[in-house]
Structure 1
Amino acid sequence: MAVVIIQSPNLSPEQETRIGERIITTLQQEGLAPGSVVVMFRPERGDIYLDGLLVQAEVPARVQAPAPIAAKPAAPVAAAEPTGFKTKARRSKPELEDLKQGLMQKLQDQGSLSSFEAQVALDLKDCDWAPATLRRLFTELEEAKLITKSGQKRGTRYVWKGMVNTPQVPPTVKLVKAESDEE
């Protein structure tokens, strides 16, 4: 497991989220398995001594975010969104980012998806805007080299390039009665 520790007193929670996602994405693109990267943010310690000299005697106050950020749910993102999310004319950047994260999770879980399967998996089949938005998100993921595209038109499938989160099922054991030589 890769652990990245960043000590800085000047980062807001939004900045930590953006930086953390970029680091994780970059390490996954370099071949580290999804879920094997941890990014930790710690406040900087107050006094730092280097070669007998005091470098920093006081830690600046931490930057406060204007509003607290809710933790991302472990359940599918689309199910946790308010009902207005699907009926709005436009979605905000955080809503689109949550939708993208949900799409990436579904791709990791299932290995590959078509646009229609993604709409069903994210509970967006009744949204008129979903096909165009998902195409845009698939294109972003393809440009980031996280997925590959195969097929065309209605046969298009998007395949996750990293490790797939498939549950490990033990092989089924078939018992066969041995034939005896005694007859």
Structure 2
Amino acid sequence: MAIVIIQSSNFSAEQKSRIGERVITALQQEGLNPGSVVVLFRPERGDIYLDGMLVQAQAPVAAQPPAPPAPKAAAPIPAAVVPAFKTKARRSKPELEDLKKDLMFALQDKGSLSSFEAQVALDLKDCDWAPATLRRLFTELEEAKLISKSGQKRGTRYVWKGIVNTPQSTPIVKLVKADSETDQA
């Protein structure tokens, strides 16, 4: 599976759709199956300027801790609020692809997950079909070499092989190449 990550907060939904379609088309022309390409749009985390010899990274805004989860009501959620794909006997391909993207985001944020933790992170713990579907998705991600599997049975953990999204505790250092005039002085 090919993953293309575009970090920018300046795109509208229409622009993301056009750009995503162009990226998938370009990769398809290079021989990749369009169903195996994921284009992820994320907000940018810092400004980096590259032009010739100058590299400048500005310190990011201090990361705010995530808000604590809202307490869940004891009453069951009305059927109108529950997404339709959770109650259907079978999920469509686009619904499964969205679920796979959400699973990849959860793995990138946490670094590793068990099947139970993935069910909680994706809010699927009340879905009877979730364990089998997540096993299939984990297998697809493992075959695509995006995750590795460790442990057995209930101790199985799935570890994200790429960069894990952890908040930066130290500011990014500002790098600037000195002008040639000041080097000679």
2:24 matches 1:19: yes
Q: Which residue of 2 aligns with 1:84?
A: 84
Residue 18 (structure 1) shift: 7.6
Q: Which residue of 1 aligns with 2:157?
A: 157
User: TM-score w.r.t. structure 1 length?
Assistant: 0.51
Residue 19 (structure 1) shift: 1.4
Residue 85 (structure 1) shift: 1.3
Q: Which residue of 2 aligns with 1:107?
A: 107
Residue 131 (structure 1) shift: 0.1
Residue 84 (structure 1) shift: 1.4
- Determine the C-alpha separation between the residues in 1 that align with 2:101 and 2:24: 15
1:113 corresponds to which letter in structure 2?
Answer: L
Task: Return closer, same or farther for 1:93/1:17 CA change in 2, 3 Å cut-off.
Answer: farther
Q: Which residue of 2 aligns with 1:96?
A: 96
- Determine the C-alpha separation between the residues in 2 that align with 1:126 and 1:148: 26
SS of the residue 1:126 aligns to? coil
- Determine the C-alpha separation between the residues in 1 that align with 2:139 and 2:107: 14
Task: Return closer, same or farther for 1:156/1:92 CA change in 2, 3 Å cut-off.
Answer: same
2:141 matches 1:141: yes
- Determine the C-alpha separation between the residues in 2 that align with 1:126 and 1:21: 40
Name the count of aligned residue pairs: 109
Q: Which residue of 1 aligns with 2:132?
A: 132
Render the CA deviation track for 1:40-77: whole Å, top value 9, x for unaligned.
xxxxxxxxxxxxxxxxxxxxxxxxxxxxxxxxxxxxxx
SS of the residue 1:136 aligns to? helix
RMSD over aligned Cα, in angstroms? 3.5
2:128 matches 1:123: no
Q: Which runs of 5+ in 2 are unaligned?
A: 7-16, 33-39, 43-80, 172-185
Which structure has the larger Rg over C-alpha atoms? 1
User: TM-score w.r.t. structure 2 length?
Assistant: 0.51
Moved over 6 A (4+): none
- Determine the C-alpha separation between the residues in 2 that align with 1:117 and 1:20: 35
Render the CA deviation track for 1:107-159: whole Å, top value 9, x for unaligned.
00000000000000000000000000000000000000000000000000000
Q: Which runs of 5+ in 1 are unaligned?
A: 4-11, 27-33, 37-80, 172-183
Residue 169 (structure 1) shift: 2.3
SS of the residue 1:125 aligns to? coil
Residue 35 (structure 1) shift: 7.5
2:143 corresponds to which letter in structure 1?
Answer: E
- Determine the C-alpha separation between the residues in 1 that align with 2:27 and 2:96: 16
Task: Return closer, same or farther for 1:20/1:157 CA change in 2, 3 Å cut-off.
Answer: farther
SS of the residue 1:149 aligns to? strand
Equivalent positions of 1:44-63 (< 5 A) are none
